[in-house]
Amino acid sequence: MKLTRKASVAGAGIIAAALALTACGGSTGGTDTSSAAAAATPYSVASSVSLTGSPTYDKIKSGGKITIGVKEDQPGLGLKDPTTGQYSGFDIEIARWMAASLGMSADKITFQAIPSSNREQALANGQVDLYVGTYSITDKRKALVDFAGPYFVTGQGLLVKKSNDSIKSEKDLDGKKVCSATGSTPIQNIKTNYPKAIPVEFDVYSKCIDALNSGQVDVVTTDQAILLGYAAQDPDNLKVVGQPFTTEKYGIGLKKGDTALRTFLNDTLTKGKDVWSKIYDSTLGKSGLKVAQPAVDNYPAS
Ligand code: GLU
């Protein structure tokens, strides 16, 4: 099915029955993107929801480009290849899919690495149009930004050196140096609920991994999905221990109050279950772990 951008974003009555990742030649490009640009986007997407009244979409459309905040040091989720500059991972593909649904082919996307503590500000001041980077939906954050989704569910976990036998679960954190990212839900959980643990913070998780490797900290804590990516990169040296001990629902961050955009992205996620599965299978799912796409939560705008 070939859909024009107009049809895909303006709700011209066409609802894609067959959302699919095509091997070559995407069909979201339309009248005002070049054919080369359209070919660079592998996602064919359509939503019947109108974007009328979305300030973010108006900005994207008039500028002909989209800036998406991401992580660049989280293997499997959001990773930048230092040599090629290419981004890869589950979050990156979700971001490309959402951009495609808004009529923005891959070459119209600028990815910008924004650490955990700066996400709300980057969305509020328009530095990024969307944020797709292991961003948990929380009530505190909902006061500052809106979220589409959730598009993935994981939970807080623990990563230690393979030689470590003293930390087997979150019950073993007393007196241990526990590293996580500033402004993240896991570091907050440690500070609030594990008062005998010694929190150590960096802006990004890769610095916690360096600190773990050098012996500066005993354990790295953040979402299990993130930790599994680091462990997979260095299986002889690192291991994930215990079971997830929180629930983290990942949302697509957007500017507070842009209800039209949130509704549109939720509709795209809901209709695109097969796109989601293909994205998952080609990224995080390569580990063999099977998970289902969560249902979106159309929380009322406050
Ligand atoms: N999902 C958690 C959060 O949003 C941890 C991962 C992260 O810092 O991005 O805080």
Walk me through the domains of the chain, giving residue ranges and CATH numbers: 12-153+249-287 (3.40.190.10), 156-241 (3.40.190.10)
- H or E element in which residue 9 lies: helix 5-10
- Of 43, 33, 45, 37, the C-alpha closest to 9 is 45
> Given ligand 1 and candidates 248, 249, 252, which is best to mutate, with the most ligand atoms within 8 Å of its CB?
248
* Interacting residues of 61 by C-beta distance below 8 A, sequence separation 6+: 103
Tokens standing for residue 119: 């996400």
List phi, psi (to 5°) of 58.
-60, -40
* Interacting residues of 34 by C-beta distance below 8 A, sequence separation 6+: none
Q: What are the residues facing 250 on neighbouring strands?
A: 136, 152
Tokens standing for residue 271: 């209709």
Pocket residues for ligand 1 (CB within 6 Å)?
116, 133-136, 181, 184-186, 222-223, 248
CB 264 within 8 A of CB 220: no
Q: What is the pLDDT along the chain (302 residues), one digit of tens a residue?
A: 333 333 333 332 222 222 223 333 333 333 333 333 344 457 866 788 999 999 999 999 999 999 999 999 999 999 999 999 999 999 999 999 999 999 999 999 999 999 999 999 999 999 999 999 999 999 999 999 999 999 999 999 999 999 999 999 999 999 999 999 999 999 999 999 999 999 999 999 999 999 999 999 999 999 999 999 999 999 999 999 999 999 999 999 999 999 999 999 999 999 999 999 999 999 999 888 889 999 999 887 54
